[in-house]
Structure 1
Amino acid sequence: MVEISIAVPCYNEVDVIGLFHSTLTKSLAGITESFEICYVDDGSTDGTRELLREWAAADPRVRYVSFSRNFGKEAAVLAALRFCTGEATVLMDGDLQHPPELVGRMMELYRQGYDQVIARRDRRG
């Protein structure tokens, strides 16, 4: 079991998933060596699946599952959560809507004993 899993449902994210992945990997490297990134491709048709396959082949900390067609975000989220093996799991969208830089602060709070850490956006961003 790893310390932290990042569950990432994605659909047709080829234009932004590379930046997301590199930013997330960099952020996680500063937090712990014990992590995994679990992508669930929800039937993408734009090359997202091929990128995930490449990353998983190159890095054992990256795993992915691919749906045969688009089942919707809820199904992808459930699959991602079931796929994770970490002691703690963070659910993130692959389009950078959720800033990877916040994972470190969330893990600090988790390590202090909080069972759940939930980020929320305010009007300032």
Structure 2
Amino acid sequence: MIKKLLIALVALVVLVVLGLQLFLQYGLTEALKKYILPAAKERLQVDAALEGVSVNLLAGSFTLRGLQVINPSGFQEPTMLALRRCRVKIGIPALFRGGLTEIRKAELKNASLTV
């Protein structure tokens, strides 16, 4: 009986982790576009667009695709930040220890920042 309960518990944990990973991989972009970007626009008074976001828990990576931050009116350049892709890999053990997180690798592709 305990063995069956333990197997069911492990299966449930695996399903929850798999569901979370699928959301972070595929559903996070829509959530950011729907909730975070409008709140940032209202609070910071800048418009932003985002093509996609994905998080891979097992690999410890975070990827932003197609980020564009528009300058407010009054600036010469229309875009403050344009980024085709940003990928960050972190050390997974550091997340569980707390404190500072180790960034193992960060790469920017076709990035443009206007100051």
TM-score in same-fold range (> 0.5)? no
**Whose Rg is larger?**
2
- Which of the two has greater helix per residue? 2
Higher relative contact order, structure no. (Cα contacts within 8 Å, ≥ 6 residues apart): 1
